[in-house]
Amino acid sequence: MTLATQLKNADDIKNILKNIPIDFELEDGRKVNSLLVYLPCYTDNQSSHKEFFECVREGILYNYVFSCTEVEKKLGVDNNDVKKEALFQKALRKISQQTAKGELGEMILFTILDVYLCAPKLLSKVAMKTNARMPVYGADAVHGQFIDGELRLYLGESKLHASYSNASTDAVHSISNARGDYQTELDLIDSHLDFPNLSEDLVDEILAILNPYETTNIIDKIHSPCFIGFTKPEILLSIESEYHKKYLEVADSYIKSFYSKAERKGLDINSLTLLLLPFKCVQELTEEFISYLGISE
């Protein structure tokens, strides 16, 4: 069984938000789940923020903010530019300059889960906000997919931070809290479950699987993807082969550090996936995001 993803231009996004296909192991030889994504650099060693932000404007933002049902309803069958712009502007009103940094990270997490892990969003928390300046509480992403016939529930965490070390420490703490309070997320899924091609039978099946009165091992179905975007200007080079080399050196250290912190927190490393993305400066990235999209106060 396969759950349909929400973003329909995955190949276009992968041409901008690229990945380095490589596996990592801890010092003791145990394999860990990770994904290294990056934005290509040009001759001035600047990442292609503009191209990514254009993808955000053209569809990522409103798909991240709203449920699949609302997007399909608003765009209709003709899916014209006027309707897209109206939906984009409505999505824009759900975020503010105060929340932009956190929501940029959550939006990147949503994109990676949908495009690279093929795990669609099960509910849209941002759409539920009544105040654009308020953050979303609980897990930063609630996605899902069937793997070998078994439902995997993703409760994702996102951190955009200049310091990778601080971000990873905070992320591990948040993941532990989210797993401990998973019932809150299950209640939201019960009320707001929505993703592409959702049928009544599939709704009943998913809700039955995630019903704590019918399933005793729900915690075993929870997987915690963690996205960390961090400042590391020294690895951004216009020649991709050199970029990859420096990125891999940093990633090896960062991945081992993250999983060490996770185990000290009592987390099972097999229930985690670390997603990394370096930037020249996270603060500059956030300011560009606000400016390019026209996010209001």
Mean pLDDT by 10-residue block, N- to C-terminus, for the chain (297 residues)? Answer: 90 95 95 96 71 95 95 85 94 94 97 97 90 83 94 97 96 95 94 90 92 85 97 85 92 97 97 96 94 91
What pLDDT is attached to residue 43? Answer: 60
Token representation of residue 194: 């929505």
Work out the burial of residue 63: count CB atoms within 10 Å of its CB; fewer than 13 is exposed, 13-18 middle, 19 or more buried. Answer: buried
What pLDDT is attached to residue 44? Answer: 64
Q: What is the DSSP string of 36-91?
A: EEE--B-TTS-B-HHHHHHHIIIIIHHHHHS-HHHHHHHHTTT--HHHHHHHHHHH
**∠61-63-65 over CA atoms, to 5°?**
70
Structure pTM? 0.95
Phi-psi region of 285 (alpha: psi -120 to 50; beta: other; left: phi over 0): alpha
Work out the burial of residue 17: count CB atoms within 10 Å of its CB; fewer than 13 is exposed, 13-18 middle, 19 or more buried. Answer: buried
